[in-house]
Amino acid sequence: MAADLLDICCQTSVSSKSVDSQASSGTKLGFTACFLQRVGVCCCCWWVSSSSSCRQWQWLSIGKLFRVAGGVVLCLFLSVYLSKLVLSRANELGRQCILGGGGASSTRESGSFNGGGGSGDRHVDGDVEQGRQRSLEMLRSYRFAMVTCSDGSRTNPQRSFEGLMELVTPNKRSYVARHGYEFVDASDVLDKERPPSWSKILAVRKSLPHYDWVFWNDADSVVTNPAISLEEIIHSVVGDTEPNNMPDFIITKDVTGVNAGMFFFRNSEWSRNFLDLWWNQTAFVQPFGRSKSGDNDALKHLLEVMPEHEQNQHIRIPHMQCLFNSNLWKLSWRSGRRLITMTKTIWQGVYSKGDFMVHLAGLDDKKKLIEEVLHDIEGGERSTRRLKV
């Protein structure tokens, strides 16, 4: 059977000039048919007729061609479904978002970090655990604020933020109350002269003097696993670092580079100066209504021109984006292409049950998606309560 299929493929390549001449007939249907004919000829015997001689199907009729095309479409549908299923269960399949500590790199080095355990002796493991507990206790002594804001803008109708703050605020207030943090709605600092995304800089700058750490999160984000604390997240990045060696800026990368929708700033002189510098990148400000406001591009520029020694001292980028900035994966031509070409990056950042937060960066119909996420969370909490009873 394999030899027969190989023979067909060879004969098809010899007859390729005929296919090319048909494709040049000028009609879109003719071009598509000839293209699919060449691609599908090697599998047509299996799909169309297993009992007939392969050679008689060397040139496919339009009817048989559509049967082959149907098989291709079915295969694509199954691959997409399976991909979505695998991505949604990434954590069940062994992905680790919160590592043992120190799982981060500078902005110029991606590196790798294995958060799994080894076969070391229990005494060493005990020492590591004691060090971890001391670091967490130190972090718990810090004051944390969860800061966000939005103008409820409809300037970009497909990606409207209208009504999002009303939806996500109870979710985030419940989270900070559980851990003893503070929630700051900084919508009062919005600058009307720039797209609202720029005002995150003002919001963080205003809050920073009152806290040790400020966690900025865009309005299109939701806490999906409130059991995870901000101290655990920072410890996963910095490890057992002494206070005077702490980084000042923690941010994640996605398929487009650093993402300015979720990040941590430590209260320090460097952080205040950097925020001022970021705000002053006026050349990157975009007109209202565009999908990009320019603040993310300004941040990328600052990191690109920053000296390496400064980056290594002040900035950390977790190896796992899902540590605190998981993206909801929705099928589209763009997301499908990225899944094929950037599989590892997608895997490190795609939202899966158990992740700390989900961020709807780059997605349309945000209000509908937020409502769906919140509904799933409520359903999971009800199931947990029933199991406890």
The DSSP-derived string for 63-117 is HHHHHHHHHHHHHHHHHHHHHHHHHHTTTTTT--SS-SS--EE-SS-------S-
Predicted pLDDT of residue 7: 43
Using an 8 Å Cβ cutoff, are 40 and 65 in contact? yes
Among 124-133, 185-194, 325-334, 361-370, which is the least confidently predicted range?
A: 124-133
Tell me the pLDDT tens digit for each residue of 70-79.
877 777 767 7
The residue ranking higher by pLDDT, 31 or 179, is: 179
Instruction: Using pLDDT thresholds of 50, 70 and 90, give the confidence band for residue 389.
Output: very low
Reported as a single tens digit per residue, the pLDDT across 304-336 is: 999 999 999 999 999 999 999 999 988 888 888
pLDDT at 237: 95
Res 101: pLDDT: 55
pLDDT for the residue 385: 55
Q: State both tokens at 66.
A: 């559509």
User: 275-298: per-residue pLDDT in tens?
Assistant: 999 999 999 999 987 778 899 999
Q: Quote the percentage of the chain above a pLDDT of 70.
A: 72
For the segment 189-217, the average pLDDT, to the nearest whole number, is: 96
* Phi/psi-derived region of residue 57, left when phi > 0, alpha when psi is between -120 and 50, beta in every other case: alpha
| pLDDT 10s digits, 37-66 | 343 434 444 444 444 444 454 555 677 777
pLDDT, tens digit (0-9, with 9 covering 90-100), for 87-134: 889 999 999 999 765 556 555 443 333 333 333 344 446 777 777 788
pLDDT of residue 383: 55
Does residue 251 have a pLDDT over 80? Answer: yes
Work out the mean pLDDT of the chain and round it to a whole number: 79
Cβ contacts of residue 238 below 8 Å, gap of 6+? 101, 102, 104, 246, 247, 316
Report, as an integer, the average pLDDT of 182-211.
95
Q: What confidence category does residue 161 fall into, taking pLDDT thresholds of 50, 70 and 90?
A: confident
Instruction: Please give the pLDDT value at position 312.
Output: 95
Q: Does position 35 have pLDDT exceeding 70, yes or no? A: no
- Give the Cα separation of 108 and 249 in Å (integer): 14
Give the confidence band of 262 by pLDDT, cuts at 50, 70, 90.
Answer: very high
Contacts of 303 (CB under 8 A, 6+ apart): 107, 258, 311, 315
Predicted confidence band at 255 (pLDDT cuts at 50, 70, 90)?
Answer: very high
**DSSP secondary-structure letter at 328?**
P
Q: Are 331 and 241 in contact (CB under 8 A)?
A: no
Band of pLDDT at residue 244, cut at 50, 70 and 90: confident
The pTM assigned to this predicted structure is 0.76
